[in-house]
Amino acid sequence: MCGIIGYTGREAALPLILGGLERLEYRGYDSAGVALIEDGKLVVEKKVGKIRELVKSLWGKPYKGKTGIGHTRWATHGEPSTENAHPHTDSKEEFAVVHNGIVENYLELKRELEGEGVHFRSGTDTEVIAHLIARSYRGDLLDAVLEVVGRLRGAFAFAVITAHEPNRIVGVKQGSPLVVGIGEGENFLASDIPAILPYTRKIVTLSDGEVADITPDGVNIYDFHGNPVTKEVMEVPWDIISAEKSGFKHFMLKEIYEQPKAVGDTVRGLVSSGERPPFSLKEFRRALIIACGTSYHAGLIGKFWMEKLTGVPTEVVYASEFRYADYPVGEEDLIVAISQSGETIDTKFAVNYAKDKGARTLSVVNVVGSSIDRESDFTFHTHAGPEIGVAATKTFTAQLAALYYLASLEHDEGEKLLSELMKVPAKIEEALEKSEGVEKLADKYMKKKDFLYLGRYLSFPIALEGALKLKEISYIHAEGYPAGEMKHGPIALIDENMPVVVIAPQDRVHDKTLANIEEVRTRKGIVIGVGFEGDDKVEKLSTEFVGIPSVEEDFTPFVSVVPLQLLAYHIASKLGLDVDQPRNLAKTVTVE
């Protein structure tokens, strides 16, 4: 995890770096720091807490240095503290390093350096990089970095500056993301594109095993052996305005309301370009969907569509479990990797593993140019725009749209199915309107300690997703369960204090779900029923009823997830919690 940024140019670096760090804060926010070259000397400022704490600590300090690096941290090695915050420096404080990822052999390197008399001030793996570079430095920062990268193992990206060469930053990418921003008389490095979008739209995405040597006047890329690499400069189409809150209290709420557009843009983007993978789905013995968190829940829904519309047997596997489980995978398999960020390390490693075994890889990714996007054989891009809230919302429904598109591509009535899919954004709009009463439910149930979410068939993954949303932003325990499985155990939890959210659209299992609601009522549970508007049966059986628009069975997840996202949002917001940056989490998880 962690976010890194670097600037070298003609302007004072500090405000640009702090602005970038705020946009990177979703990647981690337990401490932050900057290093600048001020009048030929290195200065480092760090603070525990969010970026605003660092900003406050810098008020009134007249830093004018034109080269600097910054970091926002999500602790892996070493607790959140000022000592462990980045940047880390060598013993003489001439080199400063910011780092994202893990140096797996840091203990061995640390012992080696300690044997030479180096004193370590932090418990991090990063500090070894600063000491190693200082040790290798013979007048050229790039040479020193190239000497050091060969010694490091793991997945990481880092940037380094030195007082000896005030207008230079060297950045390294190996497993963790790093992009270069090209400006006029100024250049940037960052963990992701939105961090530097206000300053430039010209981006070079580094690949693993590459080093960027950056000065105000140019950028040179090399491989780890020092051979020059030619890279394409891409022009980013996103508009930074879409990364502002536009009057909403939180990004998450704004993003929930952006779902009609996110789904509409995704469907239109795919349909108008007529995108198709360069292979037929039917040539595979099975499809393996690999993802984490919310993307995994999208995959569970995608499985039903894949099997129904293509007939290809489909399994869904947590990416973090995949490559350690001797999963039989080979040329006959299609891997479908789903990832908003395109940088989730578990998913990326799973893709690499499956590729090595000969499988073909197709990804569904929101961030263009991300690692998974580049490393897959084919990518469907979701056009959801940047998602800032840590809780995934609009990217989830956009992923659903892309998965439905994929499943319908080779269906005899594919065109008809897609024209039905085009109507979904309007239905999500309706679901948003109909969910206005959800805020009152949040008032009523926000003090509850546990929630149960139940659903069957396509609504089971929605139950999982509703529970995940509530857990991650409100810190209330919540469990998603297949409604029919409840009687095999969890029913014992139900009493008059337990809110049970039941997703019960009029689908093939409607009657069965009604019976499950009865079971909850019989045990005096509080039923929050989510059903098609006008569905008297669900309404009568529920303590609280939330109406959603009636849609074709296949499209029910698009509309039933909306009130669940809003319920979680309003509860967390009313509890006064940090909705967009919940504790212990980060938007992009780049550690295993």
Binding site for ligand M6R (CB under 6 A): 292-295, 339-341, 344, 347, 390-392, 468, 472, 588-589
Nearer to ligand M6R by Cβ, of 312 and 337: the residue is 337
Q: What are the tokens at 506?
A: 């009029």
Nearer to ligand M6R by Cβ, of 133 and 468: the residue is 468
Provide the β-strand partners of residue 529: 502, 545
d(CA 311, CA 113): 58
Structure-token match 């809230």, residue found: 389
d(CA 294, CA 561): 12
Q: Which of 2, 261, 303, 469 is catalytic?
A: 2
Neighbours of 435 (CB within 10 A): 23
Nearest to 153 by CA among 179, 132, 122: 132
Q: Which residues of 297-306 are buried (b: 16+ CB within 10 A; e: fewer)?
A: bbbbbbbbbb
Nearer to ligand M6R by Cβ, of 240 and 591: the residue is 591
Nearer to ligand M6R by Cβ, of 438 and 526: the residue is 438
Neighbours of 422 (CB within 10 A): 15
Indicate if 292 belongs to the active site.
no
Nearer to ligand M6R by Cβ, of 12 and 585: the residue is 585
Nearer to ligand M6R by Cβ, of 131 and 297: the residue is 297
Task: Write the single-letter amino acid at 393.
Answer: T
Residue 339 CB, nearest approach to ligand M6R (Å): 3
Residue 294 CB, nearest approach to ligand M6R (Å): 3
Nearer to ligand M6R by Cβ, of 310 and 393: the residue is 393
Identify the H or E element spanning 44.
strand 41-48
d(CA 110, CA 52): 32
**Longest pairwise C-alpha distance within the chain:** 79
Indicate if 587 belongs to the active site.
yes
d(CA 375, CA 444): 47
Residue 396 CB, nearest approach to ligand M6R (Å): 8
Q: Which residues of 191-222 are buried (b: 16+ CB within 10 A; e: fewer)?
A: bbbbbbbebbbbbbbbebebbbbbbbeebebb
Nearest to 159 by CA among 43, 35, 76: 35
Q: What are the tokens at 569?
A: 């949002």
**Residues 143/168, Cβ–Cβ less than 8 Å:** no
Q: What are the tokens at 25?
A: 């804060």
Nearer to ligand M6R by Cβ, of 294 and 560: the residue is 294
d(CA 443, CA 64): 49
Neighbours of 118 (CB within 10 A): 18
**Residues 173/210, Cβ–Cβ less than 8 Å:** yes
Nearer to ligand M6R by Cβ, of 208 and 387: the residue is 387
Residue nearest to ligand M6R (CB): 293
Nearer to ligand M6R by Cβ, of 90 and 472: the residue is 472
Residue 509 CB, nearest approach to ligand M6R (Å): 26
Residue 347 CB, nearest approach to ligand M6R (Å): 5
Residue 298 CB, nearest approach to ligand M6R (Å): 9
Q: What are the tokens at 56?
A: 């406050």
Q: How far is CA 520 from CA 155, 499, 517, in A?
A: 47, 10, 5
Structure-token match 């590729």, residue found: 355
Q: What are the tokens at 49?
A: 């807490």
Residue 76 CB, nearest approach to ligand M6R (Å): 16
DSSP, residue by residue, 8-25: ESSS-HHHHHHHHHHHHG
Q: Which of 254, 261, 348, 587 is catalytic?
A: 587
Neighbours of 82 (CB within 10 A): 11
Residue 472 CB, nearest approach to ligand M6R (Å): 6
**Residues 330/358, Cβ–Cβ less than 8 Å:** yes
Residue 250 CB, nearest approach to ligand M6R (Å): 14
Q: What are the tokens at 160?
A: 């380094």
Residue 225 CB, nearest approach to ligand M6R (Å): 31
Active site residues per annotation: 2, 587
